[in-house]
Amino acid sequence: MELEFKGACREVGRSAVLVDEKLMLDYGVSPGENIQYPLNGSRPEAVFVSHAHIDHSGAVPNLMDLEPDVFMTPPTFDLAHMLAKDTLKIAEREGEMPAYDPIELTRFAHQTKQIDTGVEFHTHGYDAQFFDAGHIPGAAAIYLKDRENKSLFYTGDINTADTRLVSGAIEFPDSDILITESTYFGDEHPPRREVEKQFIDSVSDTLDIGGSVIVPAFAIGRTQEILMLLDAHGIRAHVDGMGVQAYRIMAKHPEYIRNPTHLKRAFDNATMVNGHKRDSMRLESTVIVTTAGMLNGGPVLYYINKLYRDPKSKIILTGYQVEGTNGRMAMDTGNIENDGVIQHLKPKVEQYDFSAHSGDRELKEMVKDFCDRGTEYVFTMHGDDCEGFADWVKEETGVQAFAPQLGERFSL
């Protein structure tokens, strides 16, 4: 098997691995000020998409000129398609050159074959199967076996621990080659129950004194997780932004949700806000869960504009804040840029780790388990310390491990 690493090499973002010059595993972009793409020049016959986050799916429409077969789970297709449409809409509104045109987006929809996790299928000379990856609804790890019986397992983004929204990944096949994400190598998550308790305490304290809480959250996964958590503690929230649309998609795929009844209850009990309704909202002892999770655009900026002078209120970040984003600036300096104006935030800014990735311990356990069952090569990607992870694998298991550089090729 030939592997060529086209992105997410010793970095987080723009995941892309080319197998035997014809199968592409993920094709994402790096979000942030300057969007980055995988190395170009690939002409895949088939594309497998692990999940809908744009750092895994965001550039797939760019590959449509050769009309490859595209495979993903049904929720991943619906969510990725929603994001791709939104990308086009934003480009049009901002007068920017979109990365792909509506025709390519239509082709993307036509070329996609939706395949559930657990279903074995055969394509382009390979046996293939998606395995549940936890992480977000529809997220799948990708398993391939070629004609010589050489097998490969690509984790995508994986979480072996349960969250409120999705069950953790539990089933893994034997595989000769393992390509693993490395996001939280060397970083242990605090126990989720403690994080949840601190978050709820912080929200309640703010509401008690008449302040409001803005909870910036990614549309896919985090918005739903936070609403379920608030609902479980009897806190009625407002929800605004694409997280509502993402919820409606998820509700159509209950088999990919850990507890669809709880998810539905959380949204039934929440107040959905959009457009003109925003202006009539009273921002007093109110919780608003909204996009964007890193404060780069979206309705969250509307709410911050209303509340940035209110020291009783709070902004509670629920995810990792990439360097160069407004969210990172808020954490580091207490300022954000809102519509060209630098605003100094009077509300306290807090951050809680609601990660949907395996932490250090779970990642290591997973890799060890693969190596114990005969994996011969491990590749670490999608992380800040992929080299450290590869070294750890070599020392701990004796199995050959590599942290590929951008564009590096391997013949196995």
Interface positions with Zn ion (CB under 5 A) = 53, 157
Residue placing its CB nearer to Zn ion in the complex, 35 or 232: 35
CA atoms within 13 A of residue 358's CA, in its CB half-sphere: 25
Nearer to Zn ion, 47 or 349 (CB): 47
Please report where in the chains the tokens 């529809």 appear, as a residue: 138
**Nearby residues of 271 by Cβ (< 8 Å), 6 or more positions away:** 236, 237, 238, 239
Sole residue written with tokens 């800040």: 384
Minimum distance of Zn ion from residue 174's CB (angstroms): 25
CB atoms under 10 Å from CB of 184, counted, come to 23
Candidates 180, 254, 247; CA nearest to 219 is: 247
Write down the least CB distance from residue 159 to Zn ion, Å: 9
Q: Specify the residue, 15 or 206, whose C-beta has the smaller distance to Zn ion.
A: 15
**Nearest distance in Å: CB 407, Zn ion:** 23
Which is it for strands 69-72 and 46-48: parallel, antiparallel or unpaired?
parallel
The CB-of-28 to Zn ion minimum distance in angstroms stands at 9
Nearer to Zn ion (CB atom), residue 167 or residue 204: 167
Of 98, 89, 87, 53, the residue nearest 72 (C-alpha):
53
Least distance (Å) between residue 270 CB and Zn ion: 24
In the complex, what is the shortest distance from the CB of residue 182 to Zn ion, in angstroms, rounded to a whole number?
13
The residue among 214 and 366 lying less far from Zn ion, judged by its C-beta, is 366
Least distance in angstroms from the C-beta of 322 to Zn ion = 13
Which single residue is written with the structure tokens 């994986």? 158
Write down the number of H helices and E strands in the chain: 11, 22
211 in Cβ contact with 411 (< 8 Å): no
Three-state SS letters, 383-397: CCCHHHHHHHHHHHH
Q: Which CB atom, from 6 or from 53, has the smaller least distance to Zn ion?
A: 53
| CB nearer to Zn ion: pick between 50 and 175 | 50
Residues making up the chain, counted from first to last: 412
CA distance 366 to 358: 9
H or E segment and range at residue 240: strand 238-240
Give the nearest distance from C-beta 369 to Zn ion in angstroms: 22
List C-alpha distances in Å: 125 to 3, 45, 178, 193.
16, 11, 20, 46
d(CA 214, CA 289): 6
- In angstroms, the CA 354 to CA 318 distance is 6
Q: CA–CA separation, 139 vs 221, rounded Å?
A: 11
What single DSSP character describes residue 324?
T
Q: Which is nearer to Zn ion, 78 or 157 (CB)?
A: 157
Q: What span, in angstroms and rounded, lies between the C-alpha atoms of 406 and 320? A: 23
Q: In terms of CB distance, is 159 or 375 closer to Zn ion?
A: 159
Residue 139: CB minimum distance to Zn ion, A: 7
> CB of 53: closest distance to Zn ion in angstroms?
3
- Which residue lies nearer to Zn ion by CB, 107 or 382? 382
